[in-house]
Structure 1
Amino acid sequence: MPAKRKQAAPRKPRSDAQRNRERILDVARKAFSRSGANASLDHIAREAGVGPGTLYRHFPTREELLEAVDRSGMEKLAAAAQKLAAELPPAEALRAWLLLFVDSMAAKQLIAPALKQLVGDPTKVFAASYNRIWEAIRVLVQRAIESGDIRDDLDPVDLLRALVGVAS
């Protein structure tokens, strides 16, 4: 019986590859905001300081790039909630995060037409990212309730829906 080979854990991307990916996403976010779904991928690669091959290795299709742009924004927003919760009192952390959320929604409005054109119904595609956002607001609201800073009947989902409505 042949010996079983251990499967190696997935390797973490090299730091330069991670930096390239982040630069591509930052440039792509601006390009899709400016030019919509037809933003030039060659221009995005050039502005990010990478070759087209590097862009396509990270994001084989325009749709995957746009999805990654949106997902990256949501991941940063979720991570900010954790950071703020660790650094600030509950009410201040919640307030700071809500301001970041409104800014994020305003920026998302700029890429929304491209998302709709390329992806169709983005709600299915981005469900995992949105789940992280729901969890982030739930934790921040719960901390503020427990500290006595806000009423205990505030529903985090209602709060987010109200903010999305304001930002739209």
Structure 2
Amino acid sequence: MALEEPRRPRADATRNREQLLAAATRLIASAGPEPSMRAIAGEAGVGIATLYRHFPTRESLVDAIYRDQVSRLTVGARELLAQFDPPDALRRWMSLFGEWIATKNGMLDTLLAMIESGEIAHAHTRTELLAAIDEILEAGRTSMQLRGDVPAADVAAALIGIFTVAGSPEHTAMAGRLLDLLMDGLRPSAAGGSRPS
């Protein structure tokens, strides 16, 4: 007797899940307290039962958002490199990172509790993000468009610093200026080659 193939999720179920993730991400990234599950369902245009069918708990929803955002950053690095030269790809990736930080801050209480309980491996996420930065830096080193002496961890630390002081919506212009300054520091000197460390 032939084994049955596992059923794929119905198209409307997949669409509902994507709508819920997008709506939750928007609400969580906006200023204010963590939104209620009912508010998220309303924003997605689905009933509360549909939300709980996909995400039985707030933790399961936060976990899905977190993993979705990290995936977008890691996949985003490769996609940006396929479309832009390394400096432009890195600058655009920095903006994606800022969006991730905003989302992360919006669900900080739940996220910290999940990291503490071991439900989310924080170290694994750090490794993935540093690998994404290093992929762009390596392309820039090879093309001699970015300095060869700056590790990914330094870039990540600088980004966290920028979005700590200029991460709120009213500081968007300042964040952009600071990111541009960071990019200027990541380019090789006018004399050519990497700057001395």
State if a TM-score over 0.5 links the two structures.
Answer: yes
Kept after mapping to 2: 8 A contact 1:94/1:144: no
- Structure 2 match to 1:28: 24
Q: Which moved more, 1:147-156 or 1:22-31?
A: 22-31
Amino acid at match of 1:144: G
2:43 is the alignment partner of 1:53:
no
d(CA) in 2 for partners of 1:123, 1:88: 37
Q: How far 1:55 sits from its partner (Å)?
A: 1.1
Instruction: Write out aligned runs for 1:3-82 (5 A).
Output: 6=3, 8=5, 10-33=6-29, 36-37=33-34, 39-82=35-78
**Which among 97, 101, 104 is matched to residue 100 of structure 2?**
104
**Which among 153, 162, 168 is matched to residue 166 of structure 1?**
162
- Structure 2 residue ranges without an equivalent (≥5): 165-197
d(CA) in 1 for partners of 2:141, 2:85: 12
Kept after mapping to 1: 8 A contact 2:89/2:136: yes
Q: How far 1:114 sits from its partner (Å)?
A: 3.9
Amino acid at match of 2:69: G
**Which among 87, 94, 100 is matched to residue 83 of structure 2?**
87
Deviations 1:10-52 (A, max 9, x none): 5543332222112111222344455534x32123223212222
- Structure 1 residue ranges without an equivalent (≥5): none
Q: Report SS of the residue matched to 1:152.
A: coil
Q: How many residues of Structure 1 are paired with residues of Structure 2 in the alignment?
A: 162
Q: How far 1:142 sits from its partner (Å)?
A: 0.6
- Which structure is higher in helix share? 1
d(CA) in 1 for partners of 2:134, 2:118: 20
**Which among 114, 117, 120 is matched to residue 125 of structure 1?**
120
Alignment TM-score, normalising by the size of structure 2: 0.69
2:151 is the alignment partner of 1:155:
yes
